Amino acid sequence: MRYNPVMRGIDSVTGVRERRLRGTRYSNGDARLSVGSTIRDRAVHYAAHVSEPQGAWPSEKDLCDAWESGAGHRRGQRLRTVTGSTVDVIQAGIRNSGDGPDFLGAAIVIESPGQTRRVIRGDVEMHLRATDWFAHGHETNPAFASVVLHVVEDAQEMVEIAGAPVLEVGHSTRRLNHKTTATMPKLLDLGAGEARDAAMMLDALGDARLEERAAAMEGDIAVVGPEQALYEALLRGLGYTRNMTAFQEVARLMPIDTLWGLTDGAPNDEARLARLTGLLFGAARLLPSQRNRKAQGRFPFGELTWSAFDSFTASSETEWARYPGLESLPRGSWQTFRVRPDNHPVRRMGAAVELMLQWFQGPGLLSDLYAAVSDTEDPRDAARLLIGSLVIPPTGYWATHSDFGKLRRSRPSALIGRGRALDMIATAVLPFLLAMSDLQSDVNLEQKTRQIYAVLPNPGESKASRRARHLLGGHSQRLSARRYQGFLNLTATSLNGSRESLLLPAE
C-alpha cells in the first residue's frame, strides 16, 4: 500500500455517515422523535396557518443572498447554533440553481462545548422556518442527504434536523456574517501571517487528494485496463463540474478499443476525423439528427437531405449512421443551463475528438505522457511538455463554429486551454501515472510524478484560488496545483456525497 502523508495537526476521520432520514430534536427535551405523520402534520399545519415572520428576511431568497455575501456585522465574529456550538465558515458553498440544497460543497468548522473542533463538509439548506424542511418534503428526498447545516430565521424550538445542527439567525442580518476569506487563518489555527504552516497543511492535503485519485485509478485500471481508464479520466475532465458524469459515460459507451478499431480503417486523416466525430458525438447524442426531434429517423436519407448542412456535419452524420447498433446517452443527459459557450458540451466534445485524433497519430498520447515524465530531468520541463500535449488551439471546424452549422460570433478560442489542461493533468494524468508506477513498481516514475505535482502551476484565477491564496498570505507564486488541490480537498464534499469531517487541533 502507498503511504499516507502525515498531515500537520489534522487527522482524517470517518465522518458523519448517519442516515439523513432521522428524527428531529427539540430544545424542550432530548427525546428523539421519528420522522412520520406527527412531524409532517405539524409542519404542514404550521405552514398553512402561521404568517411569514416579519423580520429581515422577506423571502428565503433574501436569506440565501445574505448567506452568499456574508453581509452584516464586524469582521471575524462567529456564528452559534441554537445549542451554543460555534460555527466558522471556511467555504459558504456554491449556490444551487437546481434540485437539492441551497448551497453545495460548503465547509464549516463546528466546535461544541467539551468536544474537538471539526471541519464538516457537505451542503447547507436555508429556511425561514425550521418546519419548512418537512413541509417541502426534504426529509424523504435523497438529494438532501448531505445537508450538514440548517440556517433558519425561526428554529421553532428545533435544535437538530435530520442529524444536522440548526443555526437560527433571527431577524437580524448581523447574525449571518461569516466573512469566509477574512477568518480562514483563524479557523485553521494557523495564526495571522503563518503562511508557511498553511502551505505545509495544503501540501499534505494536496498529496492526500492525489493519493486518493491514484487509488481509484488503480481500481479502474484493474477492471478496464490502462488506456480505457486514462481515456475515461480525460473525458471526465472535459466535462467540468456539471457534465463530468455524462462525458465519462460517453467514454464507457464508446470504449477506446472500439473507437480505435472503427477508425483504424479510415483511408486518410480527413476520413478519420469524420469518423471520430460521428462516433463520439453520436454516442453523446449531440449530433443534429439526435437533437432535432422532427428530423429523427430521416437522416441521412429521406425527406430532409444533407443539402441543408455543411459537408463536415454531413460526413459526421453519415459515419454515425454506418453503425446502427451503437448506443447513445439517454436524452436529457447534458446540463447546458448557464454554461458558457466555450464550455458547452458540443464544443467540449469537439475537443475530445481532437484529443483522440492526437492519441491515434504517431506514437500516441499515452507514449507522449510517459516520455514527458520519464525522459525529462527537470520536473518543470516535464510539466511544460505535459501541458503542451493536452492544450489544443482553435483548429479545423471548431475554430470557426460553435455548433454544427453555426458560425462563431466571437474570436476563436482554444478547444483545450492552458487552465483546463493543467486541471486535467492534476486530476487525471498524474493520478494515472502514479497508479501505473505502483502497479509496475516503478520508483523512478513515482518520484518524477510527485516532483511534477509539486511544481505544476495552479490552473488559473477563481474564487477558490483567491481564498487559497489568502491562506498563503496573498502570495500567488505559492499557490501551486498541489496546494490548490489541497484547498479543494479541505472544502469540497466527499466523493460519495455524504457528510465528512476533519479533526482540528484544540485551541
**162 and 242 share one domain:** no
**147 and 248 share one domain:** no
**265 and 180 share one domain:** no
* Grid coordinates belonging to 211: 493519493
Q: What is the mean pLDDT of the chain?
A: 76
pLDDT tens readout for residues 7-66:
323 333 223 223 333 344 444 443 333 334 343 344 334 334 333 444 445 688 888 888
Could you give the CA distance from residue 347 to residue 25 in angstroms, rounded to a whole number?
50
* Residue 33 DSSP code: B
In a domain, 503, yes or no: no
**250 and 161 share one domain:** no
For residues 268-285, average pLDDT: 95
Q: How far is CA 304 from CA 95, 125, 274, 277, in A?
A: 43, 50, 21, 21
Q: Is a pLDDT exceeding 60 seen at residue 495?
A: no
Domain count within the chain = 2
Q: Give the residue from 383, 365, 392, 393 showing the smallest Cα distance to 426.
A: 383
Domain finish residue from 145, 169, 192:
192
Cell 487509488 belongs to: 215
Domain finish residue from 457, 473, 488:
457
In a domain, 475, yes or no: no
| Residue type at 1 in one-letter notation | M
**118 and 186 share one domain:** yes
**271 and 140 share one domain:** no
Of residues 296 and 451, which shows the higher confidence score? Answer: 451
pLDDT tens readout for residues 297-307:
444 433 344 44
pLDDT given at position 315: 93
For residues 71-90, average pLDDT: 67
pLDDT given at position 12: 31
In a domain, 478, yes or no: no
9 close to 490: Cβ distance less than 8 angstroms: no
| Residue type at 299 in one-letter notation | F
In a domain, 219, yes or no: no
For residues 464-484, average pLDDT: 69
* Grid coordinates belonging to 74: 464586524
Q: Give the residue from 455, 457, 468 showing the smallest Cα distance to 202.
A: 468
* pTM beyond cutoff 0.85: no
Q: Could you tell me the residue range of the domain that residue 375 belongs to?
A: 225-457
Mean pLDDT comparison of 80-84, 146-150, 414-418, highest-scoring range: 414-418
pLDDT tens readout for residues 148-158:
999 988 888 78
